[in-house]
Amino acid sequence: MKVVAAMSGGVDSAVAAARAVEAGHEVTGIHLALSRNPASHRAGARGCCTIEDANDARRAADVLGIPFYVWDLSERFHADVVQDFEEEYLAGRTPNPCLRCNEKIKFAAVLDRARALGFDAVATGHYARVVEAADGTVEMHRAEDAGKDQSYVLGVLTQDQLRHSLFPLGDTPKPQVRAEAERRGLLVADKPDSHDICFIADGDTAGWLREKVGDRAGHREGTFVDHGTGEVVGTHSGSYAFTVGQRRGLRLGTPAPDGRPRFVLDIEPVSGTVTVGPREALTVDRVHGRSARWCGQPPVGTLEGTVQLRAHGSEHRARVGVDGDEVVIDLLDPAQGIAPGQSAVVYQGTRVVGSCTITATARVGADAPVSPA
């Protein structure tokens, strides 16, 4: 096959490209220029998509002896990922930009361009497995290395996209990938992994949001209100800086009567009201979602399986009901701190069924959702 290898400049994508070459594919390496400020450089080990990363990717392609190009998708990335991130926080929701990037950029814009140029598939360094089922459908499963599994952020992929995707690292633990990179002479073998959100290189999400959206009308000062008493217990400079489940950085002026810490329970962006309360008030056992994306055929009736509600979160046993674009998930294992805007990814065993965007959460029997969108 003719394969585009998306090379970020890290060790995972370099080894994935090497394995695609070794498998006999005709491989072309591409690096995505996603930053609208290409002169920027890495801050510690947090950033990605910088000049340094592009150079690392090019050197890896040279070692592998494959053609290498840089594709500038910075404008589309800004519109589909960065601006979406800003707008979601302004609306009081908590998005996952990695899922949005996979949905809109890596497996849409890149795959569409690759196929238009005559390529058959895109290979990436994601830790997930793709297998063909007995009925001919393509299934995505969790990676063998549970600690590195990235199937959650790939839960937005459709059947057509999975048919044209290669994940060569899905059956390999990360230490073995680094050892393989060293054997192959790839200089990125010991390069640290990138962390956090790629376009917020210093990891200060609240500071970044304050700079980007802090001056927008209606999103300045607001109040913290206690969940139990309705009392105003503090002020803040913008509700966009908070997310459901947050404890740190609240700087409340009034302590709780019982002395226990308070957590963000709800965000009302129009009034700027952030409701806070005890940890137990975060507990939910029903999740509502929409914008469902299924890796194969949509479930019919009620599906028994598990759901993952955060990129690095645990699985929860669940019953999933689907009605068109609406998804209702009853959690047999309750969860805490689940925010609208996050994604719920549905599994049966290790197989990824699909995903939806969380719109509200509830405690069954409550009069209203705990965290309405």
Tokens 């914008």, located at residue: 291
Strand order in the sheet with 26-33: 68-72, 26-33, 2-6, 121-123, 165-166
Beta-sheet strands, E only, within the chain: 2-6, 26-33, 68-72, 121-123, 128-132, 138-142, 165-166, 222-226, 232-236, 263-268, 273-277, 283-294, 302-308, 315-323, 326-336, 343-348, 351-362
* Nearest CA-CA partner of 211 in 221, 200, 222, 224: 200
Task: Specify the 3-state DSSP secondary structure of 203.
Answer: coil
Beta-sheet strands, E only, within 119-228: 121-123, 128-132, 138-142, 165-166, 222-226
* Nearest CA-CA partner of 276 in 225, 204, 214, 211: 225
Q: Check if 101 is active-site.
A: yes
CB 246 within 8 A of CB 371: no
Candidates 49, 98, 101, 356; catalytic one? 101
Beta-carbon contacts of residue 367 (< 8 Å; ≥ 6 apart): none
Candidates 49, 198, 295, 356; catalytic one? 198
Question: What are the tokens at 339?
Answer: 């925010």
Q: In angstroms, rounded to a whole number, what is the distance separating the alpha carbons of residues 234 and 221?
A: 11
Helix locations, 79-154, DSSP H: 83-90, 97-101, 110-116
List residues with catalytic annotation: 101, 198
